[in-house]
Structure 1
Amino acid sequence: MQRRHLMALALTMAAGTSFADGYPTKPIRLVVPFAPGGTTDIIARVISDPLGKTLGQPVIVDNKGGGGGLIGATETARSAPDGYSLGVATVSTTAANPAINTKTPYNPITDFTPIINIAATPNIIAVNPSFPAKDYAGFIAELKKNPGKYSYGSSGTGGIGHMLMELYKSLTGTFVTHIPYRGAGPALNDVVAGQVPIIFDNLPSALPFVKAGKLVPIVVSAPTRLKELPNVPTFKEVGLEPVNRLAYYGILGPKGMPKDMVDKLNEATRKSLEDPAVRKRIEDTGSIIVANTPEQFAQQIKAEFEVYKEVVKKQKLTLD
């Protein structure tokens, strides 16, 4: 199937026709590699409708959760490079998970075509209101006093929440049991319900629960304190700068996508992000609009992958 698509693309090139001419002529599938309800899903659904209107064809969000994002990302990597099957790129799927998982069925640098980084988001450690501590000093004291007593939820094994929490544990000498989920949405549901006391999550999916008083914010990864959470310190403030990393949410496709098609998708996404209503919906989650070039996004993915490979090596992290 893929070979036929590639042959068709080669014939088009030989004929001197632009790949982007007339594209798209049918709906585009946008794979979200996590269950509904998490930040990846939120960002995808905010951008999909305006992007579809800009392109003139619907952009349909398709959730394919599992494996810390690997299942959905693998599906994108194995798709035909015809522009009709794209995926949402996250730090989990293009850096953290491949860095720790030696059995990742794709290479995050060579098996995708980066298109655009939509937004960068802070990350957060939050707890159920029943947790004994309500601020960072109390949180770290409680963990040190009771090693092994508590557990934390994340979007999945090898995801950014898992990796950053394991890095946090190694830097602070604490021990908390990891409970992986098929996405941040299910993890948040259990932490809010009190089944699991702690979560390390991206801010956009956790923030509504924080605002509703269903989660207590403890510490965030962000350049400075957030206007939405002015009383919550950053990891840098508490002496843990290595954990103070933002997450990215972008669009990519399988390797081999024609450059003019990539440029058309990039331009359409940037145009969609110029809409004040779309920008507001994304910024209201605590995210920062990026909207960069395909080349810049490719450099970001490569840089983040190198960072997490070093984290895995230095901290001797494994999936076992």
Structure 2
Amino acid sequence: MTGGVLPTGHWLRRAGGLLWCLAGILAVTPAYSADYPTKPITLVVPFTPGGTTDILAREIAHRLQVDLGQTVLIENRAGAGGGLGAEIVARASPDGHTLLMGHIGTLALNPSLYPKLGYDPIRSFAPVALVARVPNILVVNAKSPINTLAELVAAAKARPGSLAYGSGGNGSAAHITTEYLKHVSGVDLLHVPYKGTAPFVTDLIADQIQVGFTGATAVMPQVKAGRLRALAISSARRMRAFPELPTVAESGYAGFDADQWYGIVAPAGTPAAVIARLNATINSALLSPQLQARLDQEGAEAAPASPEKFGSYIAEEIARWRPILKAADVRID
């Protein structure tokens, strides 16, 4: 997913670039809040356990807990494409003790999908830190006769509406990415929304549905175990963990670029010193060899940035996806 703030293949892709980024952030970081945190921190995950958002949140929560010396609690509050959990955080006390593990859906897609959204991604939150980018992987059951994206498109066109794809729910990144693919390829797939990513992956393994297009973190273990077959990835470039796997763009749909991204935000009005401490702590964690190795294992890529750059990125992504969603006529079922 490209953008003026964090272009694909830029300095975020190199360890040296990551160090340069952190140095720049620290140079403009205001004084930290000496007495923060004063109580346990709640990190709200607006989806059910087991999905990419939840997996990444638990990794970050562990590092925050170690570095800040306070308990960090994960609270899963699913509903409305992540909107329910986001609204809860938007209304929380702006003291840095309630945070949201936001992602592309809650912070960039929902404004175009929900006419009565209970929060504003720009006005309701203070950006804290961009955490990671995760490509979506298009997968089928390992026993499926379909081996490539071209074969999937041919099968779908031969039997319009007969192949079912799963998602973690209406408005989820998996839903939007697959609808985007349907639009550019001209196929008709049946959407089966689940209450979370894990249940639909389970049904895909059981051959109850035929297709899935979701975050690498949620499906890579199943691909490596031979239960699912990967056909393509959503990124503009190939994935380090699967260099043999072609991109959708390489497979005949130039310009297709639909990675997921994840970042932490706090309620608007949270003190700048608190935001600065959280940002520095998270970026330091993202630069650690241990977490980078863990993220790479999960198919994620660390993406540290200042709060200001993250805020600009959110605004750019809202603007970038609005015409795509309109052209694809994406609807919440």
Q: Residue 243 of structure 1 aligns with which residue?
A: 256
Give RMSD over aligned pairs: 1.6
Alignment partners' CA distance in 2, 1:168 and 1:105: 28
Matched, 1:271 2:284: yes
Matched, 1:299 2:324: no
The answer to which of 220-229 and 28-37 deviates more is 220-229
* Off by >6 Å, runs of 4+ in structure 1: none
Q: Residue 231 of structure 1 aligns with which residue?
A: 244
SS of the aligned residue for 2:192 comes to strand
The answer to which of 211-220 and 163-172 deviates more is 163-172
Counterpart code for 2:328: Q
Deviation at 1:242, TM superposition (A): 4.3
Q: Residue 199 of structure 1 aligns with which residue?
A: 212
Q: 1:125 aligns with which of 112, 131, 138?
A: 138
The answer to which of 245-254 and 224-233 deviates more is 224-233
5 Å-filtered alignment, 1:72-221, equals 72-221=85-234
Matched, 1:22 2:32: no
Change (3 A) 1:275 1:231: closer
Q: Could you list the per-position Cα deviations for residues 64-117 of structure 1 after superposition, in whole angstroms to 9, with x for gaps in the alignment?
A: 122221111111111111111101010011112221221221111111111000
Unaligned stretches of 5+ in structure 2? Answer: 1-30
Q: Residue 46 of structure 1 aligns with which residue?
A: 59
Counterpart code for 2:88: E
Deviation at 1:272, TM superposition (A): 2.0
Alignment partners' CA distance in 1, 2:183 and 2:298: 29
The normalised TM-score by structure 2 is: 0.87
Matched, 1:68 2:97: no
The normalised TM-score by structure 1 is: 0.90
Unaligned stretches of 5+ in structure 1? Answer: 1-17
Counterpart code for 1:176: L
Alignment partners' CA distance in 1, 2:265 and 2:146: 40
In percent, how many aligned pairs have the same letter?
A: 36
Contact 1:19 1:258 in 2 (8 A): no
Contact 1:67 1:182 in 2 (8 A): no
Contact 2:231 2:245 in 1 (8 A): yes
Alignment partners' CA distance in 2, 1:306 and 1:68: 19
Contact 1:164 1:243 in 2 (8 A): no
Q: Give the paired residue count.
A: 303
Alignment partners' CA distance in 2, 1:274 and 1:169: 37
